[in-house]
Amino acid sequence: MPYPLQRAPLLQALRNALEPLDYVHAMWEGGAASFKRVDEWSDIDLQVAADDERVAEVVAVVEQTLTALTPITLRYEIPQPAWHGHWQAFYQLEQAGPFLMLDFVVMKRSATNKLLQPEIHGDAVIHFDKINFVVAPPFDQAAFLAKLHGRVATLRVMFPLFQSLTLKELHRGNALEALAFYQGYVLRPLVELLRIIHSPTRYDFHTRYTHYDLPSEVVQRLQALFYVAHPTELAAKREQGEMWFNELLTQIDFEAVAKKLV
């Protein structure tokens, strides 16, 4: 049964509150909207641009708008300084249900890291833009490819170096630690290498969007490695993951990777 507060009215209420303000310059969506994949479980990844000294006022207006629509049941504000340099908070709204969470970011007008590269973040859905703020910077393919070369060089060393961590905990009978090391030092670098080959612009997204970014046969093979029913399966699955990783290292073709960056 749908919740009373739906996506479109929520976004329209926020736009109505923010667009008339002279210190708010743009409002746009990322996430599922930017990839045209919005469904009934999608949250709202909303960004606005505002004058540098007016961030707190924007937050106050947004929260007043939300509470006029529905009680805010949960609120989590990212501690500052955030990794991306912006103010960010997450809101769960009573009348919108648990899935239509608002992931809200306020960027200062002076911000340069706008998270707008379509090659990585998709095409922003612009609700209003008074100053042409929502403009993606040019994608430096050469620099990005150089970064991927460096990352593969690092993985070549790190992957074999840390394979012993899973094995030693298996020998000790510490199944939980072994599983954690397997996830961190076998599966995570394996997924990263697969993403470099198949979806290089999102090489560091780990399992996020793998259903869309990786071939279906690759996803199925990964699922078989991710789901471990019992500690007795772990040694064999670790070995399978290691063999796959090493195979990929011999097969990686940076010319093919470069073509995927275009």
CATH number of the domain enclosing 23: 3.30.460.10
**Residue 22 confidence (pLDDT) above 80:** yes
Mean pLDDT of the chain, nearest integer:
97
pLDDT digits (tens, 9 = 90+) for 153-181: 999 999 999 999 999 999 999 999 999 99
Q: Which helix (H) or strand (E) holds 158?
A: helix 141-161
Band of pLDDT at residue 2, cut at 50, 70 and 90? confident
Same domain as 252, residue 145: yes
**The pLDDT value given to residue 224:** 98
Same domain as 48, residue 24: yes
135 in a domain, yes or no? no
**Residue 1 confidence (pLDDT) above 70:** no
> Which residues, 6+ apart, have CB-to-CB distance to 182 below 8 Å?
166, 228, 234, 237, 238, 241
Ramachandran quadrant class, 97 (left: phi over 0; alpha: psi -120 to 50; beta: rest)? left
The count of structural domains within the chain is 2
Same domain as 253, residue 148: yes
Same domain as 167, residue 105: no
Same domain as 256, residue 146: yes
165 in a domain, yes or no? yes
Q: Of 129, 158, 190, which residue sits at a domain end? A: 129
2 in a domain, yes or no? no
pLDDT digits (tens, 9 = 90+) for 54-106: 999 999 999 999 999 999 999 999 999 999 999 999 999 999 999 999 999 99
**Residue 215 confidence (pLDDT) above 70:** yes
ω into 98 cis (within 30 of 0): no
**The pLDDT value given to residue 39:** 96
Same domain as 180, residue 88: no
Same domain as 121, residue 146: no
Amino acid identity at 108: K
60 in a domain, yes or no? yes
pLDDT digits (tens, 9 = 90+) for 31-60: 999 999 999 999 999 999 999 999 999 999
Same domain as 158, residue 65: no
Same domain as 166, residue 62: no
1 in a domain, yes or no? no
136 in a domain, yes or no? no
Q: What is the mean pLDDT of residues 205-211?
A: 96
What domain range includes position 47? 7-129
**Residue 262 confidence (pLDDT) above 80:** no
Same domain as 180, residue 81: no
134 in a domain, yes or no? no
Same domain as 146, residue 256: yes
In CATH, what number is assigned to the domain containing residue 182?
1.20.120
What does the radius of gyration of the chain's CA atoms come to, in whole angstroms? Answer: 22
Q: Of 105, 129, 153, which residue sits at a domain end? A: 129
pLDDT digits (tens, 9 = 90+) for 103-161: 999 999 999 999 999 999 999 999 999 999 999 989 999 999 999 999 999 999 999 99
This prediction has a pTM of: 0.91
